[in-house]
A and B are shown apart, each in its own frame.
With several copies, the nearest count.
Chain A
Amino acid sequence: MTNTRPGSYVVHTATFEGPLDQLLQLAQQGQVDLETIPLAEIAAEYLAHSRRAFDVEEATETLWMLAALIELKARALLPHPPPVEEPPAEEPGDLQELLEERLATYRVFKDVATALRALESYQQRVFLHPPEEPAGPLLSGVALADLFRAFQEVLARVPDRVEEVPPQSITVAEQMAAVLALLADGVEGVPFEALFRAAATRLEIVVTFLALLELIRLMRVRVVQDATFGAIRVYGRAARDGGGQTGGAGDD
C-alpha cells in the first residue's frame, strides 16, 4: 500500500514525518496519537501542494486517507454517546410481530395517502385569481437612509464572525445528496468549481470535498481531467453502474 511516487505529498509535522498512508496505517494500529497531529494543517498543505502538481488519482487517494484520519480523530476526541437503543436481540416470534406491526403502520399511511391523493386531484382542478399587486410595495415609514444604515451595521458586524461555525450543521451525507442532485441535471457533468458555492465556508468546502470522495468511492460519480492543468469535470453515474476508471479509492 505504501507506494510513494516521486513528487507525491509528504507529511511534515512536529511528531510525524512521512507519507500520508504510513500515518494512516500507524493511526489505525494505534501507534500514533492523532490528537498531536494537526489534520487541518496537513489538509491545507496538501491543497497547496496539489495546486503545484495535481493528479486526480493521487488527490482521490490523499483525500480519502485524510477523511479516514479525520474520522479516526473525531472518534478519539468525541465522548462516546450511549449506544443507540437497538431492540434487544429479538426472538424470531417477536421479530415477526415487529415486522407485522411496521407493515400495519405503513398500510395505514398508504391508506391516508390515497385519501390525500383524492384531495390533491380535486384541488389540482381548481384555479385562483392571480394575486393583485397593491398600489405600492408593502412598506411604510422606511427611508433610503434607514436601509443604508442597516447595511452598514451588518457589514460592521461581519468581521467578528468570520471564524464562527455557521449555525447550520452540514453533513457529508447532505452534501453527497446535494452533489448528486446537481449532477442529476445533465449528462454533460459540471465543472469541479461548481460544486462549491462562492460564499462557501471552509467547513462547507471540506465537507463537500469529503462528500465527493465518498461518491467516487461508491462509484456514483466520475471525475475527469482531460489535460494536466485542464479543467476538471465531475460526472454522475448510474447508481449500480459498476466498473470504471475511478480507481485509487483505497482498500479497506
Chain B
Amino acid sequence: MDAPLGTEGVRPEEPGMIELEQAAGDAARLHERDARVRETARAIECILLVSGGPVRVEQLVDAAQVPPEIVVAAVEILMQEYAARGLEIQTVAGGYQLATRPDHAEVVQRFLGAAGREPLTQATLETLAIVAYRQPITRPELEAVRGVRSEYVLERLEERRLIRVVGRKATVGRPILYATTEGFLRYFGLRDLADLPPMAAFGMIHPAAPEE
C-alpha cells in the first residue's frame, strides 16, 4: 500500500481519476507532515530535558526551525505519549516543561536528600567552618590551615551544595576560590555572612587565650 508521491507519470483519463490522485497526494502530504511532527516531538523532548525550566513556543520554533503549528502539534503528541509515564509535560505560565509527576515527589525528595542524611565527618565540618570564615579561599590556603590535603573533602562539600566555586585567584597556578552557598546561609538561618558568630575574640590566627 504505497501512497504515490507524485502523479506526473500517470495520464488521467477520467475526472474520477483526478480526485483519486488528489486524495493520494493529500495522504502523502499528511504522511510527510506527520513524520515531521514526530521528528519535532523527539527534538522538543531533548530541549525540554536540557532546559530544566519552562520553554516558550517561540523558543522551540527557533531551535527546531519548524513552523509554530508543527511545534504545537508535536507538543500535543508528547503530552499524549507522556500521559502514562513518570514524567509529564506541564503547561505553565512560561511555556512547557518536563517535570516529575507529583505522585513520585516522595521518592524524588528521598533521592535528593539522600546525601544530606549522611552525617558530616569531623574533617568535613572543620573544612566547612574554615571556608565559611575565610571565604573566598583557595585549596592551598585551606590546606595551610588544616595541614592536610583537602581535595576530597572540598568535593564532598560541593556535592552537598554547602560550598561552591566562585572564581580563580590571580596568582601562580590560578587556584580555584571556594565560598559558601545560599543554601548554607538558609540552613543555618543566617541573613548573610556577617551573621556568623564573630571571631573577634580570637584575633586572627593566634588564639591568645582559650575562651573557656
Q: Footprint of B on A, CB under 8 Å? A: 81-82, 101-102, 104-113, 115-117, 119-142, 144-148, 150-159, 161, 164, 166-168, 173-175, 177-179, 181-182, 185, 190, 194-199, 201, 208
Chain A proximity mask over B138-162: 1 for CB below 8 Å, otherwise 0: 1011011111110110010001111
With both chains docked as a complex, state the minimum distance between the C-beta of A143 and any C-beta of chain B, in angstroms.
8
Q: Return the contact of A109 from the options B100, B144, B145 (Cβ within 8 A).
A: B145
Q: Return the contact of A117 from the options B97, B105, B125, B145 (Cβ within 8 A).
A: B125
Cβ-defined contact, A137 with B149, below 8 A: no
Besides the contacts A104-B205, A133-B112, A168-B143, what 4 more A-B pairs have beta carbons closer than 8 Å? Answer: A133-B183, A153-B126, A154-B145, A199-B144
Cβ-defined contact, B52 with A128, below 8 A: yes
Central interface residue in B52, B169, B181, B187, by most chain A CB within 10 Å: B187
Cβ-defined contact, B197 with A102, below 8 A: no
Q: What residues of chain A lie closer than 8 Å to B204, measured between beta carbons?
A: 104, 108
Kindly report which residue of chain A lies nearest to residue B119, judged by CB atoms: A120
Cβ-defined contact, A126 with B129, below 8 A: no
Q: What residues of chain B lie closer than 8 Å to A121, measured between beta carbons?
A: 119
Cβ-defined contact, A120 with B187, below 8 A: yes
Cβ-defined contact, B160 with A139, below 8 A: yes
Q: What residues of chain B lie closer than 8 Å to A102, measured between beta carbons?
A: 145, 147
Bound complex: CA of A117 vs CA of B184, how far in Å? 13
Cβ-defined contact, A150 with B129, below 8 A: yes
Q: Return the contact of A137 from the options B132, B183, B211 (Cβ within 8 A).
A: B183
Cβ-defined contact, B207 with A104, below 8 A: yes
With both chains docked as a complex, state the minimum distance between the C-beta of A103 and any C-beta of chain B, in angstroms.
9
Cβ-defined contact, A138 with B172, below 8 A: no
8 cross-chain pairs, A with B, having the tightest CB-CB distances, nearest first:
A131-B52, A137-B183, A138-B116, A125-B105, A115-B197, A125-B102, A134-B112, A151-B129
Central interface residue in A107, A155, A190, by most chain B CB within 10 Å: A155
Cβ-defined contact, B199 with A108, below 8 A: yes
Contacts A116-B128, A132-B52 known; A166 to B143 CB distance under 8 Å?
yes
Cβ-defined contact, B119 with A151, below 8 A: no
Q: What residues of chain A lie closer than 8 Å to B183, measured between beta carbons?
A: 133, 136-137
Cβ-defined contact, A159 with B126, below 8 A: no
Contacts A104-B204, A113-B125, A140-B116 known; A134 to B199 CB distance under 8 Å?
no
Q: Does B10 contact A (CB under 8 A)?
A: no
